Amino acid sequence: MLSPVAYGLAVVLALFVAFIGARFLLVPKAAAAGYGVPAKRDGDAAYLEVKGLRDLTFGLLGLALLAFADAGAAGWYMLVVAVAPLGDTLIVLRHGGTKATAFGIHFATAVVVLISAALLFAV
């Protein structure tokens, strides 16, 4: 019973991260606003695209591990990837974003990713 929940949550998270990455590549300024730190009108879009590529890569790697590796490998992946939303929490706070966004989106995401890791380790 635990296996479908563990894998289901991990798949949803990986797809969501890939979607966020694609969004940063396709509509970077709108994605940055949703991230919690709006992009400057005359800012360098390359940095937003870097974030998009990072997230898209993380999502695709997660899906590949879920498809071709065991639950332990996917659990370690989730554990390591949790660093990204934890860092995002600090970035939003340091650059004028709201606490609601920092904790309600980014920190909450890190917690869910850590729960996913724990579920995968328990399988």
pLDDT digit string, tens, across residues 92-117 = 999 999 999 999 999 999 999 999 99
Q: In this structure, are residues 5 and 111 in contact, taking their beta carbons and an 8 Å threshold?
A: no
pTM of the entire predicted model = 0.91
| pLDDT over 90 (residue 43) | no
Mean confidence (pLDDT) of the chain: 95
Could you tell me the pLDDT band of residue 119, with boundaries at 50, 70 and 90? very high
pLDDT at 41: 84
Residue with the two structure tokens 């709006």: 38
pLDDT at 45: 84
pLDDT at 108: 98
pLDDT at 27: 94
C-alpha–C-alpha distance, residues 23 and 37, integer Å = 15
| Spatial CA neighbour of 108 closest among 78, 92, 85 | 85
| Spatial CA neighbour of 14 closest among 88, 87, 94, 74 | 74
| pLDDT over 80 (residue 48) | yes
C-alpha–C-alpha distance, residues 106 and 78, integer Å = 15
